Structures are given as C-alpha cells and as structure tokens.
A = this chain, B = another copy of it.
C-alpha cells in the first residue's frame, strides 16, 4: 500500500466509490478542482479523497450539491484541510440534519392531529389548507425538510 500522492480520475473514483462521470460533474459544479497533466488529464492529490468522500456523505445526509459546496467553500485555501477543519464542517452538517429531523417530526405530529381529529375534513385542517403552502416550487421533498420556503405561488384559493 504505497502512499501514492497523485491520482488519476479513475483511481480516485475507485478509492471513494464514485463514478468518473460524477467527479467531472462535481468539478463542473465547482465542488472540486483538479490540476492537469501535460496532456490535459485530471490529476488529484491524496487530500482530494477526503473531499470527495465528504461530498458523498453529505449527499447521503440529504444535502444538495449547492449546500455541500457552501460548506466546502469554508475550508482553508492555502493548505490541505486538517482533521479539525473537517470536524468543524461535519458539526455544522449535524446541526442542519437536526433541523431537518425536527421539521419532519413537527409535520408528523400535525398529521397525527389530523388523523386523530377525524380530520381530512378540510376547512379546519391545517394540512389541508391550501394557504399553507409548502410543497410548491421545486423537485423533491426538500422544502418539507427545512429548506427555504418559496414565496407563495399564484393559487388564488378563496375557498
């Protein structure tokens, strides 16, 4: 297990369990950079393994690439990040996760109330109220989980 300091994209992909195409995609999105060989092939440092692994984990945790980029942008520029740097941003992400869990539990409780009260009877039900916008605007269940709520859409619902 010789400590190889410079890796090709295929090598680093195998190391972190990502596809080559994803890594190029992340580069296009600004989450990672590579320097190039004389023939324009991407070359990575050992430290990039950690960076890519972090991306993978953060995705498992439900963060968008935008969010992940925001965290990564807080890493130091001049030197490779150390354990403390990583611990810092992991802690930040744990907090984000907590918020998402809280939001989900709150919603769960509301649903409970709705079921309990013989609800789904409209008008009185918070979940059924059209003015109670939450799921509009993007793909996926994201708003629900604690992200920005987009400004109310046109739905002129005067029921």
Contact = CB atoms under 8 A, between A and B. Distances in A.
Interface residues of A toward B: which range?
Answer: 35 or more
- Copies of this protein chain in the complex: 2
Contact of A53 (B57, B104, B118, B128): B128
Q: Which of A98, A127, A142 has the most CB of B within 10 A?
A: A127
Contact of A62 (B49, B131, B144): B144
Contacts of A94: 108, 111-112, 115
A121 interface: yes
A135 B26 CA distance: 15
Contact of A107 (B97, B115, B122, B153): B97
Contact of A86 (B15, B107, B120, B143): B120
A32 interface: no
Interface of A: 13-19, 49-50, 53-54, 56-57, 59-64, 83, 86-87, 90-91, 93-94, 97-98, 100-101, 104-105, 107-108, 111-112, 114-115, 118, 120-122, 127-128, 130-131, 133-135, 139-145, 153-159
